Structures are given as structure tokens and as C-alpha cells.
Amino acid sequence: MQTIAIYHNKGGVGKTTTAINLAAAFRKMGQRVLLIDLDSQANSSFGTGLVKFQFEEEDDLVGRNVYQLLESVDFNFIPDLVRKSSGFNQPEIDVIPAHISLIEKQSKLSAFVNTRWRLDKKIQQVKDDYDIVILDAPPARDLYAEIALIAADYLIIPSDMKPFANQGLNNVKSFISEVNETRSAIDKSPLEVLGVLASKILPNTRYLTHTFPRQRDSVINRYGFPILETIIYERVSLAHCVNQTISVGMFDIPNPTSIFEFDEACESAKEFRSLAQEVMNKLGV
Ligand SMILES: Nc1ncnc2c1ncn2[C@@H]1O[C@H](COP(=O)(O)OP(=O)(O)OP(=O)(O)O)[C@@H](O)[C@H]1O
Ligand SMILES: [Mg+2]
């Protein structure tokens, strides 16, 4: 089992899109995949079809989400809380959803230092059940991001390569140093950065010829991070597949799918297959 966190403290750079479609790509390759949503926005939970309701009173995630996994060492384990994604991908993937209430619960969880490695311990208990665990982290330097980076073996940092995302890499770097201090205290080896993933990149020849190469070089030379070879371009199909709906009676119900169920021959699907293959090669799977 290998655990990969998808993290950048900059918002909107494609972390969730990467987390859910990389999970789907691995699943299509026959891997047993668990996706854990650690972001109170719950976008990975939505994107994998677990938020198929329109009204709060129908919310069935509130009492069964990643918070219950984090709140105690002695009860609520992954098999008690896991769900199958719904209509998202064939085969479906296992998901531990997040919930908006994670925000208000953060201070309670922060009071106990052991909360930080509780997820790590609970993931270890299912190491024979999964080949790959993917953690979708929030765009913050908060407790949930720390929990993700402590539990992970590897890190992928999606970046749209724009100046603020790239300058933010300094924050990611100092956060990794802090996390590594905690990892060393619990006898865990340092987090391995698989690379910065160029994400939401404009497929525009002028940009790709002149601006993009300089931005890539600065990730390596100025911020000292490796860069993944695969590029995830900005494409309407990727934004579309998460916004699909179906009509049920009077209502339109969210019906998101992975990029592969949306159109397995499209360019984005090819890019995510190639990302999954590149990550596999780096992991030696
Ligand atoms: N390659 C892409 N092409 C087109 N749209 C994209 C692409 N990647 C992401 N998007 C869209 O951009 C928005 C932000 O993407 P996403 O939610 O994956 O980013 P994020 O980094 O997880 O955001 P947050 O920091 O809020 O968690 C979404 O509407 C998503 O559909
Ligand atoms: Mg996100």
C-alpha cells in the first residue's frame, strides 16, 4: 500500500480534480483505491457522487465522515466509515468523505497532539485491503493538511504555475520541514515529494513556447522541487464531468463522473492515464 497526498496551500489549482481522477485512473488499472477527503469543502466527496442530495435534512454524511475517524483512537475505523463512490467510475472507488462541519471541529481536534497521527495509524490497519490511498488536502496550512502530510508516503503538488502558486511553493516547503520533524518524532521517514504537477495549463502555443518553460524552470531552480512530466491542461471536459446532473422527479440531482466515464477517449482522460502511469513508475509498482 502506498499513500499519496495531493496538496498545495494555494486554492483552486486542481488538487481535487487530480485526487479524484488519479484515483479513478488507478482503479481502472486494477488497483484497490481508497480516497480520503480531508477538506471541509468536501469537493472530493461531491465529485465522487456522495452528495446526491439538495437539502440539508437529507445529508447522510454529517454523522459518518472523516471527523469520526479522527476523533478517537479506539472506535470508528476505516471499514466502519468507508463508502463506495456512486455512479462516479467503473469500477467504483472506496471513499471516506469530508463534511463542512470539519471547520468548527478543528479546534477540538487540535487540543490533542495525538490527533495528528491518528489517521496514519488507522490507514496502517487497512494496509492489506488497498494498494493506493489518495488524500485530498485543503488549501491551507491547518490541522487537516498536517494530518494528510503525516499520513502520506508521497506528495503531489498541483500548481497552475502562475506567480502566486509558484511563490506559494516556499510555504509548502517550510510546511514539509515542520511535518518532517513530527514524522521523525513518530519514527516515520521524511515525506517524499513526487513532484509539482503542472495543472490547468492553457493549451496555447504562445504560452507553451515562451512562458511555461520559464515557469517550469523556476519550480526546479528557484524552489527546488522536482516536476512531474505529465501536464494536465485546462479543458472544458474536466470542468464538465463534475457538474453533470440527472433529473429525478422535480429536481436535478448532482451526477458527477470521473473523466473516464465522461469520455474515455478525450485528451484529459489520456493525460490522467499518463499521470497514473508516471506515478506508478516512480513508486515502482
Ligand atoms: N485541468 C482543468 N481544466 C478545466 N477546469 C479545471 C481543471 N482543473 C480544475 N478545474 C476546475 O477548476 C476549479 C478548481 O479545481 P479544483 O477544485 O480541482 O481545485 P482545488 O485546488 O482542489 O481547489 P481548492 O483549493 O478549493 O480545494 C473547479 O471548478 C474545477 O472543475
Ligand atoms: Mg480541493
Q: Which CATH number do you get for residue 201?
A: 3.40.50.300
pLDDT at residue 229 in the model: 98
For ion ligand 2, residues whose CB falls within 5 Å? 15-16, 43
Within a domain: 283: no
- Cα separation, 84 vs 100, whole angstroms: 20
SS3 category, 77: coil
Are 256 and 88 a contacting pair, CB within 8 Å? yes
SS3 category, 257: coil
pLDDT at residue 57 in the model: 92
Within a domain: 285: no
pLDDT at residue 54 in the model: 85
- Cα separation, 174 vs 181, whole angstroms: 11
Neighbouring CB atoms inside 10 A of 23's CB total: 32
187 Cα–ligand 2 center, Å: 29
249 Cα–ligand 2 center, Å: 31
pTM of the model: 0.97
How many structural domains compose the chain? 1
Are 208 and 237 a contacting pair, CB within 8 Å? no
| Residue of 52, 138, 126 lying closest to 94 (CA atoms) | 126
Q: Per residue of the chain (285 residues), what is the pLDDT tens digit?
A: 999 999 999 999 999 999 999 999 999 999 999 999 999 999 999 999 999 888 899 999 999 999 999 999 888 999 999 999 999 999 999 999 999 999 999 999 999 889 999 999 999 999 999 999 999 999 999 999 999 999 999 999 999 999 888 889 999 999 999 999 999 999 999 999 999 999 999 999 999 999 999 999 999 999 999 999 999 999 999 999 999 999 988 889 999 999 999 999 999 999 999 999 999 999 987
Ligand 1: which of 7, 17, 157, 160 to mutate, judged by most atoms within 8 Å of the beta carbon? 17
Within a domain: 284: no
Are 180 and 188 a contacting pair, CB within 8 Å? no
Look up the domain containing 77 and give its range. Answer: 2-278
Q: First CA to last CA across the chain, in angstroms?
A: 10
In the structure, how many helices (H) and strands (E) does the chain have?
Answer: 14, 10
Ligand nearest to the CA of 140: 1
Within a domain: 266: yes
pLDDT at residue 53 in the model: 85
pLDDT at residue 46 in the model: 97
Ligand nearest to the CA of 240: 1
Q: Are strands 245-248 and 251-254 parallel, antiparallel or unpaired?
A: antiparallel
44 Cα–ligand 2 center, Å: 7
- Cα separation, 70 vs 159, whole angstroms: 28
| Residue of 180, 175, 167 lying closest to 223 (CA atoms) | 167
Ligand 1: which of 7, 16, 100, 102 to mutate, judged by most atoms within 8 Å of the beta carbon? 16
Ligand 1 atom with the smallest distance to the CA of 43 is 17
